[in-house]
Structure 1
Amino acid sequence: MKSRFVAIPVGQGDGFFYQDQNTSLLVDGGRSVRAIATQFQTALSRTKLDILICTHNDADHANGVLGLLESGIQCREVWLPGRWTERLKDLLANPYDFSRELYGDWQAAHEDLDKVGTLDEYGDILAIEDQRAEENEQPNEIDEGTDETLLDALENASAESDSLVPADYFFEFGPCPWIPYGPRGAKILADAVEAAARIRSIALAAFHVGATIRWFEYGNGQPVQHSTILPLNCREIVKVRRLDARALKYLALTKANKESLVFSVPPTDANPGVVFSADSDFDFSFNLNSNSEYLVTAPHHGAESNANAYTQLASVMNNGTFVRSDGKYRSRPGKSFLKLPSKRRFCTLCRGVDVPKQTLEFEGDASGWNATPAVRSCACQ
Structure 2
Amino acid sequence: MSGFGIGLVTVSVPMYISEMTHKDKKGGYGVLHQLFITFGIFVAVLLGMALGAEPLADVDTALTIFEKIWWRVMLGLPAFVSILGIILLIFFFKEETPYFLFEQGRIEESKAILRKLNGTDNVDEPLAALKEAMEQNEAAKKNSLSLFKALTIPSYRYVILLGCILSAFQQLSGINVLVANSNELYKEIVGKETMTKISVIMAAINFIMTFPSIYVVEKIGRKTLLLLGCAGIIIAYLPTAVLKTLWKNEYIDYISIAATFLMIISFAMSYGPVLWIYLHEMFPSEIKDSAASLASLINWLCAICVVFPSDYIIKISPTILFYVFAIFTILAFLFIMFFIKETKGNEIGTSPYITLEERQKH
**What TM-score do you get using the length of structure 1 for normalisation?**
0.24
Task: Choose between structure 1 and 2: higher helix proportion.
Answer: 2
Task: Choose between structure 1 and 2: higher strand proportion.
Answer: 1
Q: Which has the higher contact order (CA 8 A, sep 6+)?
A: 2
**What TM-score do you get using the length of structure 2 for normalisation?**
0.24
